[in-house]
Amino acid sequence: MTDEAPAAEQPEAASMRYSSPPGALLHDATPAAPERFLIVPVLAAEPIAGAGADAPRFLLVRWADWPQPAMLSLAPPAAHDTLDAAVADLLLARLQLTSTGPARVSEHRIPVRMGAARFGFTGTGWLRAVLAPVTGEPKPDALLAGADVLTLDEALAALSTEVERMLLRDAAELAAKLGDRG
């Protein structure tokens, strides 16, 4: 008989479940290397004048205090949530759009200067595109000034930074791969 209490069970390390293309290189976000996802909703392809019958339509949002269209962002979901659920919840709450398939995570991460307020530092963080197939007519919430449905070329021209354009191209690559399977 000993005076020692049994060792407390240690919770498993927090992990994030992704839906992504097979073989995608995924990295866990850490306080030293924070990661954010830029969500790229893509509407079901319908004929667009001058853009081809199968051209995907990408959705960008507009904020009242920022004139250029932008993408919604999302921190990695909590350990017991999936990226699919987090993206679907965000798009339903912010734009009244319904997810029609799994969120696809880009293999590429783009390094950017990023603050981590919870940890009190600024350093290198990572951005990654997430393609989210959706249906519905976008109805932005009260915090958004609007939403634009654009072809890839229009969306690339509308974005204000090369980092955003790189992320949109990554998402468009994922959309093309999905289209090839369909």
User: What is the model's pTM?
Assistant: 0.77
* Structural domain span for residue 177: 41-107+132-181
Query: Given this model, what pLDDT does residue 10 score?
Result: 34
| DSSP assignments along 29-68, one per residue | -BTTB-EEEEEEEEEPP--BTTTBTT--EEEEEEETTEEE
Q: Is residue 24 part of a domain?
A: no
pLDDT for 4 equals 44
Query: Could you list the pLDDT tens digit for every one of the 182 residues in the chain?
Result: 444 444 443 333 333 444 444 444 445 555 556 789 999 999 976 554 555 556 899 999 999 998 889 999 998 887 788 999 999 999 999 999 999 999 999 999 999 988 766 667 777 889 999 999 999 999 999 999 999 999 999 999 999 999 999 999 999 999 998 876 55
The pLDDT value recorded for residue 1 is 45
> Looking at residue 95, which CATH number applies to its domain?
3.90.79.10
Distance CA 100, CA 10 (A): 37
For the CA atoms of 84, 86, 89, 95, what is the dihedral angle to 10 degrees?
-90
> In this predicted structure, what is the pLDDT of residue 92?
97
Assigned domain for 158 exists: yes
Residue 86 falls inside a structural domain: yes
**Count of structural domains within the chain:** 1
32 lies in a domain? no
Helices (H), the chain: 83-95, 152-158, 162-181
On whether residue 173 sits in a domain, the answer given is: yes
Domain membership of residue 115 (yes or no) is: no
Q: What are phi and psi for residue 75, nearest 5 degrees?
A: -75, 155
Q: Are 56 and 169 in contact (CB under 8 A)?
A: no
142 domain residue, yes or no: yes
14 occurs within a structural domain:
no
